[in-house]
Homo-oligomer: A and B are copies of this chain.
Amino acid sequence: MTDGAAGHRPDVPDGPTSWERVSSEHGAPLILFRPRYDRVRHPRTGAILTRLVLETPDWVNVVARTPAGRIVVVRQYRFGSGEVTIEIPGGVVDPGEAPLETAERELREETGYTSARWTDLGSVQPNPAFHDNRCHHFLAEGAIQTHAQALDAGEDIVVGTLTTDEVRDLITRGEITHSLVITALSRVLDLRLTAHRD
């Protein structure tokens, strides 16, 4: 018996089950996250272990393509890596907001682009080992710059566009590096390294 999204596969034996959560305790909030310490019971040994969960709101990001097929990108300084990165637009789902609404809002606020043609590209788990959230990917086609940027006081973002070949090249050369940007783009671009194409 298993639970969660991963159903039975003949060549991946069932076996691991959910671990019983014996108790939970929250730590002090961390700006972006709410830490939770779960005491869980190992299903085979019965041992009680402590595991950290960072309760995290859902995120979204957007592959926005111009009428010419170019991809809208943002350049900004990232505090974790201490580097200026090239990414696609995205952000945090506000309470009560649907992921598509967040996607439309973040695209408009960060870049000034809007689109009438939106497609849900599905979602991923940023890291199910310790995050409880998802990142929802969207495609916005025929995107054009209709608004001025509306940046938060804590943002400093420059907008540009790249061809799909340029985006692929930046990913394979390791210059576009954000994992969630890559998972979104992998749904519309073939990102295989040249040496590993069949």
Contacts and interface: CB of A to CB of B under 8 A. Distances in A.
A26 interface: no
Contact of A154 (B5, B49, B157): B49
Nearest to A187: B193
Measured as residues with beta carbon below 8 angstroms from the partner, the interface class of chain A is: 35 or more
A182 interface: yes
A188 B193 contact: yes
A100 interface: no
A117 interface: no
A179 B125 contact: yes
Given A85-B5, A128-B83, A186-B186, A154 B42 contact: yes
Of A44, A129, A154, A193, chain B has the most CB atoms within 10 Å of the CB of: A129
A29 to B, nearest CB: 10
B2 A75 contact: yes
Nearest to A185: B186
Given A43-B156, A186-B182, A192-B186, A78 B15 contact: no
Interface in A38-69: 38, 40, 42-45, 47, 49-54
Nearest to A158: B15
Contacts of A38: 79
Given A122-B174, A125-B178, A189-B192, 8 more contacts: A5-B174, A18-B82, A54-B80, A78-B128, A78-B129, A80-B125, A135-B179, A179-B183
Interface of A: 2-7, 9, 11-19, 27, 30-32, 35, 38, 40, 42-45, 47, 49-54, 70, 73, 75-86, 119, 121-132, 134-135, 139, 153-154, 156-162, 166, 170, 172, 174-180, 182-183, 186-193, 195-196
8 contacts: A5-B85, A13-B159, A16-B84, A42-B156, A81-B125, A81-B132, A126-B127, A128-B178
